[in-house]
Structure 1
Amino acid sequence: MKRAWFLPVLFVLCGSVLATVLIFQGSPGRAVAYLLVFVLLAGMYSPLVFPRSIGAQQAQNRSAVDGRPIVFWRPGCKYCLRLRIRLAHRARQAHWVNIWRDPAGAAAVRAANGGNETVPTVVVAGRPHTNPDPAWVRGQLSASA
Protein backbone atom coordinates (compact mmCIF):
# COMPACT_ATOMS: atom_id res chain seq x y z
CA MET A 1 0.00 0.00 0.00
CA LYS A 2 2.80 2.40 0.86
CA ARG A 3 4.51 1.86 -2.52
CA ALA A 4 1.34 2.81 -4.36
CA TRP A 5 1.28 6.27 -2.80
CA PHE A 6 5.02 6.98 -2.69
CA LEU A 7 5.24 8.76 -6.06
CA PRO A 8 2.07 10.87 -5.67
CA VAL A 9 3.14 12.00 -2.20
CA LEU A 10 6.61 12.80 -3.52
CA PHE A 11 5.08 14.95 -6.29
CA VAL A 12 2.96 16.89 -3.79
CA LEU A 13 5.91 17.40 -1.43
CA CYS A 14 8.23 18.60 -4.20
CA GLY A 15 5.54 20.92 -5.53
CA SER A 16 4.93 22.32 -2.06
CA VAL A 17 8.62 22.99 -1.47
CA LEU A 18 8.99 24.65 -4.88
CA ALA A 19 5.86 26.74 -4.31
CA THR A 20 7.09 27.84 -0.90
CA VAL A 21 10.43 28.92 -2.33
CA LEU A 22 8.71 30.84 -5.14
CA ILE A 23 6.37 32.59 -2.70
CA PHE A 24 9.33 33.75 -0.59
CA GLN A 25 11.01 34.99 -3.77
CA GLY A 26 7.94 37.09 -4.53
CA SER A 27 6.36 34.99 -7.33
CA PRO A 28 3.02 33.79 -5.98
CA GLY A 29 1.55 33.32 -9.47
CA ARG A 30 4.35 31.00 -10.55
CA ALA A 31 4.09 29.20 -7.20
CA VAL A 32 0.42 28.42 -7.77
CA ALA A 33 1.08 27.30 -11.35
CA TYR A 34 3.88 24.94 -10.34
CA LEU A 35 1.90 23.57 -7.41
CA LEU A 36 -1.03 22.84 -9.74
CA VAL A 37 1.25 20.97 -12.14
CA PHE A 38 2.69 18.86 -9.34
CA VAL A 39 -0.76 18.11 -7.89
CA LEU A 40 -2.00 17.06 -11.34
CA LEU A 41 1.01 14.76 -11.74
CA ALA A 42 0.30 13.29 -8.31
CA GLY A 43 -3.30 12.67 -9.32
CA MET A 44 -2.31 10.99 -12.57
CA TYR A 45 0.10 8.63 -10.84
CA SER A 46 -2.16 7.82 -7.91
CA PRO A 47 -4.16 4.60 -7.65
CA LEU A 48 -7.33 6.72 -7.74
CA VAL A 49 -7.10 7.10 -11.53
CA PHE A 50 -7.59 3.38 -12.05
CA PRO A 51 -10.79 1.38 -11.61
CA ARG A 52 -11.12 -0.46 -8.31
CA SER A 53 -8.76 -3.42 -8.20
CA ILE A 54 -9.79 -6.93 -7.33
CA GLY A 55 -7.75 -10.03 -6.56
CA ALA A 56 -6.29 -12.17 -9.33
CA GLN A 57 -8.40 -15.20 -8.42
CA GLN A 58 -11.58 -13.16 -8.36
CA ALA A 59 -10.66 -11.55 -11.71
CA GLN A 60 -10.01 -14.96 -13.27
CA ASN A 61 -13.36 -16.26 -11.99
CA ARG A 62 -15.22 -13.22 -13.31
CA SER A 63 -13.39 -13.32 -16.65
CA ALA A 64 -14.30 -16.98 -17.08
CA VAL A 65 -17.96 -16.04 -16.70
CA ASP A 66 -18.16 -12.79 -18.67
CA GLY A 67 -15.17 -13.09 -21.04
CA ARG A 68 -13.78 -9.65 -20.19
CA PRO A 69 -10.01 -9.06 -20.19
CA ILE A 70 -7.95 -8.94 -17.01
CA VAL A 71 -5.47 -6.05 -16.75
CA PHE A 72 -2.56 -6.52 -14.34
CA TRP A 73 -1.10 -3.13 -13.40
CA ARG A 74 0.79 -1.24 -10.72
CA PRO A 75 0.71 2.40 -9.58
CA GLY A 76 3.40 4.65 -11.04
CA CYS A 77 3.69 2.67 -14.28
CA LYS A 78 3.55 5.09 -17.20
CA TYR A 79 2.50 2.34 -19.61
CA CYS A 80 -0.39 1.37 -17.33
CA LEU A 81 -1.40 5.02 -17.15
CA ARG A 82 -1.24 5.28 -20.95
CA LEU A 83 -3.47 2.22 -21.28
CA ARG A 84 -5.91 3.56 -18.68
CA ILE A 85 -6.17 6.98 -20.36
CA ARG A 86 -6.53 5.55 -23.87
CA LEU A 87 -9.27 3.15 -22.76
CA ALA A 88 -11.19 6.10 -21.26
CA HIS A 89 -14.64 5.07 -19.98
CA ARG A 90 -14.25 1.54 -21.35
CA ALA A 91 -11.56 0.80 -18.76
CA ARG A 92 -14.24 -0.04 -16.22
CA GLN A 93 -15.31 -2.98 -18.41
CA ALA A 94 -12.03 -4.83 -17.73
CA HIS A 95 -11.04 -6.54 -14.49
CA TRP A 96 -8.08 -4.64 -12.98
CA VAL A 97 -5.58 -6.33 -10.65
CA ASN A 98 -2.99 -4.23 -8.80
CA ILE A 99 0.06 -6.50 -8.54
CA TRP A 100 1.44 -4.53 -5.60
CA ARG A 101 -1.66 -5.35 -3.56
CA ASP A 102 -2.20 -8.92 -4.72
CA PRO A 103 0.68 -11.44 -4.49
CA ALA A 104 -1.25 -13.91 -6.66
CA GLY A 105 -1.52 -11.22 -9.35
CA ALA A 106 2.22 -10.54 -9.19
CA ALA A 107 2.88 -14.28 -9.48
CA ALA A 108 0.60 -14.51 -12.53
CA VAL A 109 2.47 -11.64 -14.20
CA ARG A 110 5.85 -13.22 -13.42
CA ALA A 111 4.64 -16.54 -14.86
CA ALA A 112 3.49 -14.81 -18.04
CA ASN A 113 6.66 -12.73 -18.48
CA GLY A 114 9.53 -15.08 -17.75
CA GLY A 115 9.92 -14.04 -14.11
CA ASN A 116 9.57 -10.29 -14.71
CA GLU A 117 6.77 -8.15 -13.30
CA THR A 118 6.20 -6.36 -16.60
CA VAL A 119 2.94 -4.43 -16.66
CA PRO A 120 0.48 -3.81 -18.08
CA THR A 121 -0.13 -7.46 -18.80
CA VAL A 122 -3.56 -8.08 -20.28
CA VAL A 123 -5.03 -11.59 -20.18
CA VAL A 124 -7.66 -12.32 -22.83
CA ALA A 125 -9.20 -15.79 -23.04
CA GLY A 126 -6.39 -17.18 -20.88
CA ARG A 127 -3.60 -15.77 -23.08
CA PRO A 128 -1.34 -13.05 -21.64
CA HIS A 129 -0.32 -10.02 -23.71
CA THR A 130 2.42 -7.78 -22.34
CA ASN A 131 2.01 -4.03 -22.89
CA PRO A 132 -0.49 -4.41 -25.73
CA ASP A 133 -1.65 -1.57 -27.96
CA PRO A 134 -4.56 0.26 -26.27
CA ALA A 135 -6.57 0.11 -29.52
CA TRP A 136 -6.28 -3.68 -29.48
CA VAL A 137 -7.46 -3.81 -25.86
CA ARG A 138 -10.43 -1.55 -26.75
CA GLY A 139 -11.31 -4.04 -29.49
CA GLN A 140 -11.17 -6.89 -27.00
CA LEU A 141 -13.44 -4.98 -24.63
CA SER A 142 -15.92 -4.36 -27.44
CA ALA A 143 -15.87 -8.02 -28.43
CA SER A 144 -16.57 -9.15 -24.85
CA ALA A 145 -19.42 -6.69 -24.26
Structure 2
Amino acid sequence: MTRTWILPILLALCGSVVATGLIFQGRPGTAVVLLLVFVLLTGMNSPLIFPRSIGALEAQRRSAADGRPIVFWRSGCKYCLRLRIRLGRSARQLHWVDIWRDPAGAAVVRAANEGNETVPTVLVAGRPHVNPDPEWVRRQLSPSA
Protein backbone atom coordinates (compact mmCIF):
# COMPACT_ATOMS: atom_id res chain seq x y z
CA MET A 1 0.00 0.00 0.00
CA THR A 2 1.30 3.43 -0.86
CA ARG A 3 0.84 6.57 1.14
CA THR A 4 -1.75 7.83 -1.35
CA TRP A 5 -4.27 5.55 0.33
CA ILE A 6 -3.43 6.37 3.97
CA LEU A 7 -5.83 9.33 4.32
CA PRO A 8 -8.79 7.62 2.58
CA ILE A 9 -8.34 4.49 4.70
CA LEU A 10 -8.13 6.53 7.90
CA LEU A 11 -11.30 8.42 6.95
CA ALA A 12 -13.15 5.16 6.28
CA LEU A 13 -11.96 3.63 9.57
CA CYS A 14 -12.84 6.73 11.60
CA GLY A 15 -16.28 6.87 10.02
CA SER A 16 -16.84 3.20 10.80
CA VAL A 17 -15.79 3.61 14.44
CA VAL A 18 -17.97 6.68 14.98
CA ALA A 19 -20.95 5.05 13.24
CA THR A 20 -20.57 1.90 15.33
CA GLY A 21 -20.55 4.00 18.50
CA LEU A 22 -23.73 5.78 17.40
CA ILE A 23 -25.45 2.47 16.65
CA PHE A 24 -24.62 1.22 20.16
CA GLN A 25 -26.07 4.45 21.54
CA GLY A 26 -29.33 3.68 19.75
CA ARG A 27 -29.00 6.30 17.00
CA PRO A 28 -28.83 4.26 13.76
CA GLY A 29 -30.19 7.08 11.56
CA THR A 30 -27.44 9.44 12.62
CA ALA A 31 -24.91 6.65 12.18
CA VAL A 32 -25.97 6.05 8.57
CA VAL A 33 -25.83 9.75 7.68
CA LEU A 34 -22.42 10.17 9.30
CA LEU A 35 -21.08 7.04 7.62
CA LEU A 36 -22.25 8.35 4.23
CA VAL A 37 -20.43 11.63 4.87
CA PHE A 38 -17.23 9.75 5.71
CA VAL A 39 -17.61 7.56 2.59
CA LEU A 40 -17.98 10.72 0.49
CA LEU A 41 -14.86 12.23 2.10
CA THR A 42 -13.00 8.97 1.51
CA GLY A 43 -13.89 9.00 -2.17
CA MET A 44 -12.97 12.65 -2.61
CA ASN A 45 -9.55 12.12 -1.03
CA SER A 46 -8.75 8.91 -2.84
CA PRO A 47 -6.72 8.69 -6.04
CA LEU A 48 -9.82 7.26 -7.76
CA ILE A 49 -11.34 10.70 -8.47
CA PHE A 50 -8.31 11.73 -10.52
CA PRO A 51 -7.52 10.57 -14.04
CA ARG A 52 -4.99 7.75 -14.18
CA SER A 53 -1.51 8.94 -13.27
CA ILE A 54 1.48 8.32 -15.46
CA GLY A 55 5.18 8.78 -14.79
CA ALA A 56 6.80 12.19 -15.15
CA LEU A 57 9.07 11.09 -17.99
CA GLU A 58 6.15 9.62 -19.94
CA ALA A 59 4.05 12.74 -19.26
CA GLN A 60 6.86 14.98 -20.51
CA ARG A 61 7.21 12.85 -23.65
CA ARG A 62 3.45 12.97 -24.32
CA SER A 63 3.27 16.69 -23.57
CA ALA A 64 6.08 17.40 -26.05
CA ALA A 65 4.14 15.46 -28.68
CA ASP A 66 0.63 16.86 -28.10
CA GLY A 67 1.32 20.16 -26.29
CA ARG A 68 -1.05 19.43 -23.41
CA PRO A 69 -0.16 20.56 -19.86
CA ILE A 70 1.12 18.24 -17.13
CA VAL A 71 -0.42 18.40 -13.66
CA PHE A 72 1.71 17.24 -10.73
CA TRP A 73 -0.56 16.33 -7.81
CA ARG A 74 -0.92 14.13 -4.72
CA SER A 75 -3.93 12.65 -2.97
CA GLY A 76 -5.23 14.46 0.09
CA CYS A 77 -4.36 17.86 -1.38
CA LYS A 78 -7.42 20.10 -1.25
CA TYR A 79 -6.03 22.38 -3.95
CA CYS A 80 -5.48 19.42 -6.29
CA LEU A 81 -9.03 18.29 -5.59
CA ARG A 82 -10.32 21.81 -6.29
CA LEU A 83 -8.46 21.88 -9.60
CA ARG A 84 -9.73 18.43 -10.58
CA ILE A 85 -13.37 19.20 -9.77
CA ARG A 86 -13.36 22.64 -11.39
CA LEU A 87 -11.80 21.27 -14.59
CA GLY A 88 -14.61 18.74 -14.95
CA ARG A 89 -14.35 16.70 -18.13
CA SER A 90 -11.42 18.78 -19.30
CA ALA A 91 -9.27 17.11 -16.63
CA ARG A 92 -9.02 13.98 -18.77
CA GLN A 93 -7.18 15.95 -21.47
CA LEU A 94 -4.29 16.74 -19.12
CA HIS A 95 -1.39 14.49 -18.19
CA TRP A 96 -1.57 13.76 -14.42
CA VAL A 97 1.50 12.75 -12.39
CA ASP A 98 1.07 11.64 -8.77
CA ILE A 99 4.23 12.82 -7.02
CA TRP A 100 3.79 10.27 -4.24
CA ARG A 101 3.96 7.44 -6.76
CA ASP A 102 6.62 8.88 -9.03
CA PRO A 103 9.96 10.08 -7.59
CA ALA A 104 10.85 11.78 -10.90
CA GLY A 105 7.62 13.79 -10.69
CA ALA A 106 8.41 14.82 -7.12
CA ALA A 107 11.86 15.93 -8.27
CA VAL A 108 10.34 18.09 -11.02
CA VAL A 109 8.03 19.75 -8.48
CA ARG A 110 10.86 20.35 -6.00
CA ALA A 111 13.00 21.88 -8.75
CA ALA A 112 10.17 24.25 -9.69
CA ASN A 113 9.29 25.21 -6.10
CA GLU A 114 12.61 25.88 -4.36
CA GLY A 115 12.80 22.39 -2.87
CA ASN A 116 9.14 22.21 -1.76
CA GLU A 117 6.63 19.68 -3.02
CA THR A 118 3.93 22.29 -3.59
CA VAL A 119 1.03 20.94 -5.63
CA PRO A 120 -0.77 21.27 -7.88
CA THR A 121 2.06 22.36 -10.10
CA VAL A 122 1.06 22.60 -13.76
CA LEU A 123 3.76 22.44 -16.41
CA VAL A 124 2.79 24.30 -19.59
CA ALA A 125 5.34 24.44 -22.41
CA GLY A 126 8.10 23.63 -19.92
CA ARG A 127 7.14 26.45 -17.51
CA PRO A 128 5.81 25.56 -14.04
CA HIS A 129 2.72 27.27 -12.61
CA VAL A 130 1.92 26.62 -8.94
CA ASN A 131 -1.75 26.28 -7.97
CA PRO A 132 -3.06 28.03 -11.07
CA ASP A 133 -6.66 29.09 -11.61
CA PRO A 134 -8.65 26.17 -13.12
CA GLU A 135 -10.07 28.47 -15.82
CA TRP A 136 -6.54 29.42 -16.86
CA VAL A 137 -5.62 25.72 -17.08
CA ARG A 138 -8.71 25.05 -19.19
CA ARG A 139 -7.71 27.86 -21.58
CA GLN A 140 -4.30 26.22 -22.02
CA LEU A 141 -6.09 23.26 -23.60
CA SER A 142 -7.61 25.35 -26.41
CA PRO A 143 -5.70 25.47 -29.71
CA SER A 144 -5.62 29.28 -29.65
CA ALA A 145 -3.88 29.46 -26.24
Q: TM-score, normalised by structure 2?
A: 0.97
Counterpart Cα distance in 2 of 1:110 and 1:88: 27
Match of 1:98 in 2: 98
1:12 maps to 2:12: yes
Secondary structure of 1:142's counterpart equals coil
AA of the residue aligned to 1:139: R
Q: CA 1:75–1:26 in structure 2 vs 1: closer, same or farther (change >3 Å)?
A: same
- Structure-1 residue corresponding to 2:50: 50
Structure 1, gaps ≥5 residues long: none
Deviation at 1:144, TM superposition (A): 7.4
Q: 1:36: which partner in 2?
A: 36
Residue 23 of structure 1 aligns with which residue?
23
Evaluate the alpha carbon distance shift between residue 144 and residue 19 of structure 1 in structure 2; reply closer, same or farther with a 3 A threshold.
farther
C-alpha deviation, 1:143, in angstroms:
3.3
RMSD: 1.2
1:96-139 deviation per Cα after TM superposition (whole angstroms, max 9, x unaligned):
00001111000000000011000000000110000001110011
Matched residue type, 1:90: S
Residue by residue over 1:54-88, the C-alpha shift from the partner in whole angstroms, topping out at 9 and shown as x without a partner, is 00000000000100000000010000000000001
Question: What is the DSSP-based 3-state SS (H/G/I as helix, E as strand, rest coil) of the residue aligned with 1:75?
Answer: coil
- Retained in 2: the 8 A contact 1:74–1:100? yes
Q: Structure 1 residues 125 and 62 mapped into 2: Cα distance closer, same or farther (>3 Å)?
A: same
Percentage identity across paired residues of the two chains: 78
Which whole-Å CA distance do the structure 1 matches of 2:86 and 2:144 have between them? 18
* Secondary structure class of the residue paired with 1:128: strand
**Separation (CA, whole Å) in 1 of partners of 2:66 and 2:33:** 45
1:53-92 equivalences in 2 (<5 Å): 53-92=53-92
Q: TM-score, normalised by structure 1?
A: 0.97
* Count of aligned pairs: 145
What is the rounded CA distance, in whole Å, between the counterparts of 1:50 and 1:35 in structure 2?
Answer: 23
Q: Which residue of structure 2 lines up, in the alignment, with residue 141 of structure 1?
A: 141
Alpha-carbon distance between aligned partners in 2 of 1:38 and 1:9, rounded to the nearest angstrom: 10
